[in-house]
Amino acid sequence: MVDKHHVTYDLHKEDAFVVHLPTKDIKFKHSINGLYYYKPTEIQQNVKMQLLSSLEDNKKFYSAQQFEYAKKVCNLYHALGHPSIPDMKAIIRMNMITNNPITTKDIDLAERIIGPDIGTIKGKTTRRKPIPVVDDMIDIPYELVQLQECNFNIRWDDC
């Protein structure tokens, strides 16, 4: 964090690290456990934020060889016609593909690095039946409406 942004810490003012970004400052507060944390829900109400994990971010935590295995898993997944992940693991466990270097651990690794296949999720997801709209409108008798209008008038003489 220090390599990318200006960070300040003033124990006399507050026990917190402040990361100075170009648009705002983010404060990392001290917890009871001795760690410093930033809780996105404590930000201002008018600031909108979405936390995403991209392939590039996920790739940083794994070696190049692990990423290559994940790409091989994706290629095999598409070649098999997009089976479900449990079905693909069963195919691998039953050794239905000859000379296959991919293991079920590689499938788990590919799920962590690359994530689920969006096209498969969209293609296999069915539309849920929406909740029917219920008409709860009831007719209010004219006498009750007139009585309520009289209650809100300033002059009580009219009622």
User: Which residues have C-beta within 8 Å of that of residue 123, sequence separation ≥ 6?
Assistant: 82
Mean pLDDT of 63-70: 90
Please give the share of the chain, as a percent, with pLDDT higher than 70.
86
Mean pLDDT of the chain, nearest integer: 82
Model confidence pLDDT, tens digit, residues 100-114: 999 999 999 998 888
Give the pLDDT confidence score for residue 107 in this predicted structure: 93
- In degrees, rounded to 5, the angle at the alpha carbon of residue 60 between the alpha carbons of residues 58 and 62 is 85
For residue 48, what pLDDT band results from cuts at 50, 70 and 90? low
Is 91 a residue whose pLDDT tops 90?
Answer: yes
Which residue, among 95, 92, 64, 62, has the nearest Cα to 76 in the 3D structure?
Answer: 92
Mean per-residue pLDDT for 122-128? 80
Distance between CA atoms of residues 72 and 79, nearest Å:
10
Using the 8-state DSSP alphabet, how is residue 80 labeled?
T
pLDDT digits (tens, 9 = 90+) for 2-40: 788 888 988 888 888 888 888 888 888 888 888 888 877
